[in-house]
Amino acid sequence: MDGAGSWQPIGLPPSSQIALEFAFDSSAPTTVYAATNGGGVYKSTNAGTSWTAMNTGLPQTSVFALAVDPTTPSTIYAGTYGGGVLKRLDGTGSWAPINTGLTNLSVPDLAIDPATASTVYAGTEGGVFKSTNGAASWVAMNSGLTTVESKVSAADRRNGESQLPAAFATAPVPHAVP
């Protein structure tokens, strides 16, 4: 690992299809999680040399987003296509759905506030949602958004203050009518 000075291919198991996102454990730099389209979630503890599936209790294997709690890295969130947000506490070895308040269960983006790890944001195909209790419940934050599909970026800490994550409303794609 040389700060991206050089690259080498690393492979997930063939059944995992396409890796859509990677998340890292800030306390263990060689621990990497991969969200895959159709293969679920994989974990590597050796910087991607080998991978282990983490799919026990995962009802939906199309995982689009991952977020690792920066203060408790054994807590991982997954955003899925149609299954909402799931949470895994590594001690449990299983995923649990945490969708109370989400009105859309397609979640392509997740972000955790690094200053307050219990604050989690979900960008869904139905807007932006915020949780202030470790994703036990969600509240819509869609005031002013003109379209429904949203993305969230990681929260940032500047000058000792936590900045809210940016929310981007996507523009509707025009479709040609024959």
- Average pLDDT taken over every residue of the chain: 80
**pLDDT digit string, tens, across residues 120-134:** 999 988 888 999 999
Instruction: Output 104 or 174, whichever has higher pLDDT.
Output: 104
Burial class (CB in 10 A: 0-12, 13-18, 19+), 42: buried
Query: Is residue 70 very low, low, confident or very high in pLDDT (cuts 50, 70, 90)?
Result: very high
Q: Which range has the worst mean pLDDT, 9-18, 101-110, 136-145, 148-157?
A: 148-157
Q: Which amino acid is at 49?
A: T
pLDDT at residue 46 in the model: 92
Q: Which CATH code, of 3.40.50.10800, 3.30.420.40, 2.130.10.10, 3.40.50.1010, is assigned to 14-155+165-169?
A: 2.130.10.10
pLDDT at residue 1 in the model: 55
Are the beta carbons of 69 and 78 closer than 8 angstroms? Answer: no
pLDDT at residue 163 in the model: 44
pLDDT at residue 151 in the model: 54
* CA gap 130, 168 in Å, rounded: 14
Return all residues near 76 (Cβ < 8 A) that are at least 6 apart.
Answer: 23, 33, 41, 54, 66, 67, 68, 69, 87, 88, 90
Burial class (CB in 10 A: 0-12, 13-18, 19+), 150: buried
Q: Which range has the worst mean pLDDT, 10-24, 62-76, 82-96, 104-118?
A: 10-24
Tokens of 6: 């050089």
Average pLDDT over residues 22-30: 91
* CA gap 92, 75 in Å, rounded: 10
pLDDT at residue 155 in the model: 47
Global pTM value: 0.80
Return all residues near 53 (Cβ < 8 A) that are at least 6 apart.
Answer: 13, 39, 40, 41, 42
